[in-house]
Chain A
Amino acid sequence: MTAPLLDVDGLRVAYPGRGFRARPVEVLHGVSLTVGEGETLGVVGESGSGKTTIGRAVLGLVKPSGGRVRFQGRDITHAPARARRALARDLQVVFQDPYGSLNPNLTVGDILSEPLVVQGASLKDARARMRALLDQVGLPANAPERLPREFSGGQRQRVAIARALAPEPRLIVCDEPVSALDLSTQARVLDLFIDIQRRTGVAYLFVSHDLAVVRHVSHRVSVVYRGDIVETGPAGAVTSEPEHPYTRRLLLAAPVADPDEQARRRAERRRLQDAEIGQGAHG
């Protein structure tokens, strides 16, 4: 059995507390997960669960206070800046906000060529690669001369995806990449993610609050609750027969677009809730 592409083991992250001499607040209490080559691991959780922090720690944007992050067999937990920059070839990111993640002052061409040029590509190669990328994400060929603000939300997210794909990475951390998009745009962008994965074999660490979205793109799913992973398993199993009570609650709370099924779920959720309250009263 080969080592997984990404291996996170016992990851802890603490943020400094607010205010004078405040104690640090630990947001991840020892999270472990793996992502294989070409695989999508969905990470699902609610706001404040720490799901986004997992991705940021893998990317080196926050410093872990404990645990290990291994990528392609190498320990990158505390990789120095130089090693981090070299990692950029293989490890990339797509953020949630398609407005904030593109510098409004740079053209799409500058945004896409920048990572290539810093990795040492010639301007000519970078341009050729850019054309291929734009084609791959379905953007018009005249996109490079334009500014991000001239594009719609969905198109901007395509630019962000193209930027992530530019150095042909092995893993892309996707932080809520479709949450800011309209329903129909969201469906198209999700399909684009799946399509690119099939063609390039890139792996995704796909962070989202939306169970349905995660289920749609993930091979396996991890559920994060208050800084811990409470459950990991194949997408189908975790999202239809969850083992952990929290996952069950999450699943029942997410409304489905079917009035009858939704009425059934609502009844079940309320039953579960009442049962819990009853338990709480006894405990």
Chain B
Amino acid sequence: MSTDAPNPTEETCETGAAPSRRSSAARRLLRDPQAVVTAGLLLVIVVLGLLAPLLAGHGPNEASLDAINADPGTPGYPLGGDGSGRDIFARLLHSINTSVVSALIAASIALAIGVTAGLVGGYFERRVRGLTEWAFSLIMTLPGLLLLIVLMPVTGGDYRTTMAIFGVLLSPGIYRLVRNLVVGVKNETYVDAARVSGLTTPRILGRHVLVAVRGPVVIATAFLAGQAITLQSGLAFLGVGSSAAPSFGAMISEGFLNLYEEPLQFVWPSALLGIINAALVLFGNALRDTLQGAQPKPAKIVRTGPEAAAPADAGPAAGLLTVEDLAIAYPAPSGELQEVVSGVTLSLSSGETLGLVGESGSGKTQTAFAVLGVLPAEAVVTRGSIRLDGRELLGLGEGELRDVRGRSIAYVPQEPMSNLDPSFTVGAQLVEGVRAAATSRISRRDARARVLALLKRVGIPDPERTFRSYPHQISGGMAQRVLIAGAVASRPVLLIADEPTTALDVTVQAEILDLLRDLEKELNMAVLLVTHDFGVVADICDRVAVMRHGEIVETGTTAELFGDPRHAYTRMLLDSIPGDAVRSDPPPGDAAGRGPGPSGETVAKEAR
């Protein structure tokens, strides 16, 4: 993660204040009205079906000439009789049973096959998985409903056999779900840790893997049941299978023929089928929300409303960038705003590098994003001012900001790989940026030439090749050079670098820092460098601002900060650096005289 986004739980947890509630999924489900209503409805329907022999006065196929198209309310025929003189009420109740049995057969077969194969295919590598993949892609290619119709001579019209085959046809969905989950879990280090702890494979599968799979499978089952019921009624509507089993589909089909004379005959089964299916889908959705947390909410990438901040009175603007009393807040779950940056003030001149230092959650990245105008849409700038060359940036619209971004202010991110679009070549993305940031229209060809020159400038050995490469084809160090090239393309006056070397190896880091230093001189840029690494600060920064809990606790030149830190927090951070301390107490097993190591104080600053 490249954002140290506000995470209020982090702090509360450290103090142990967070209540420990493994509130069971069932209890949470009971608090969800959608789940309660739909589950209750389904339960009532199932019970009605089970009680059918008791509730209905007639058998589902019992026909009586007197009851043909009987009106609702006819004694013994609460919902009337159908065109063949059968009791509609009785047929409805028995149809419930047909649906329930269909759902049970199809879902349990799909689950039995899908889950077993998914666990096996997901947990074991290569050959086994190759085999299961093949088998299921074969099943997936089968045109389901058509095959069921085609195989009618084989199934002999019994809907239960048909549903069993349908279960097999549904199993690839479950297989894929389980397999993906298992592969994901298997790569988690906690499964490695369990293996190292001496757990057997079945125990790992049962305890660690199945637990992760359980929730999604339960959810999928609700949808499977719905599909099975829909399919069964569709087949019965077509007239596939024996007419002995009462079913919604058959009733709908009969009602459809009789639609004008007796519309109710059509309405009853349709309504009940619709209700069952809707209840299953809505129950499945409620289950998903409960077990997997609410579905991700869309986050607008651009803030549409006006910035809430009122510019502070325009004081003397010293330097290129001045940030005054900047405060950023996020809405907490309770609805009120929670500040993550509270009154940050800093200034930066051309040709100067300011280090913004702090631990995760200190608000340093939020400050940087505010300057770039790319805070998430839910963030609120509650007060303060950000001025570039005297121009207030807060409150600018997206269009005006676009003129500033890329041209005057540029950005180098932390994680090189995730900051390149994986679907476009390096060259295509850079060309698009160059053309967007250009003040006058520039042809694709000129842009391409410019990009190639830039790639060469940032130290890429074969610019043509890198230009044609996709992000996954280049190394992390190269990707970071590409991003730097993209940032400096329009000769910005301010460069914001957010932990630009954290994801890189130290030898690459040194080269990237050299490059940034050279570019800063060459372009006379101001650089705002966000970092947690005091080594990087010592290497490249002229001045430093130390942040903690959204506030700047200390600002000064780099020499001052390292030589004479004033704030206790800064001192604590500096003391936490392992630095040159080298361990010097000998291992206890050293009696044999293996390995030298001067005795003395345990952790000594090495003399230089």
Contact = CB atoms under 8 A, between A and B. Distances in A.
| A–B in direct contact per CB < 8 Å | yes
Interface of A: 1-2, 4-5, 16, 36-40, 46-47, 56, 59-61, 81, 84-89, 91-93, 95-97, 100-103, 105-107, 114-115, 118-119, 140, 142, 145-147, 150-155, 160, 163, 167, 182-184, 186-187, 190, 194, 198, 201, 203, 209-213, 215-220, 234-236, 239-240, 249-250, 252-259, 261-262, 266, 269-270
A213 B578 contact: yes
B360 A182 contact: yes
Contact of B597 (A107, A115, A119, A219): A219
Contacts of B18: 146, 150
Residue with the highest number of chain B CB atoms closer than 10 Å, among A91, A150, A218: A150
B13 A81 contact: no
B579 A183 contact: no
Interface of B: 9-10, 13-14, 16, 18, 20, 22, 126, 188-190, 192-201, 203, 207-208, 211-212, 359-360, 476, 505-507, 509-510, 513-514, 532-539, 558-559, 562, 572-590, 592-597, 602-603, 606
Given A114-B199, A183-B532, A184-B359, 7 more contacts: A36-B594, A85-B199, A95-B193, A184-B576, A194-B603, A255-B513, A262-B538
A118 B587 contact: no
A187 B590 CA distance: 26
Contacts of A46: 505-507
A154 B13 CA distance: 11
A129 B409 CA distance: 57
Given A100-B190, A152-B10, A253-B506, A107 B538 contact: no
Nearest to A237: B596
Contact of B506 (A150, A163, A250): A250
B197 A114 contact: yes
Given A61-B195, A147-B20, A39 B589 contact: yes
Contacts of A152: 10, 13-14
Given A1-B594, A152-B10, A255-B539, A183 B573 contact: yes
Contacts of B573: 183-184
B577 A212 contact: yes
A240 B196 CA distance: 35
A37 B588 contact: yes
5 contacts: A1-B592, A39-B595, A84-B195, A201-B588, A262-B539
Contacts of A215: 578, 580-583
Contacts of A81: 200-201
B13 A150 contact: yes
Given A1-B594, A182-B360, A212-B577, A115 B198 contact: yes
A88 B505 contact: no
Contacts of B579: 212, 256-257
B562 A258 contact: yes
Contacts of B592: 1-2
> Ordered nearest first, which 5 A-B pairs have the shortest CB separation?
A255-B535, A88-B198, A37-B589, A39-B587, A257-B534
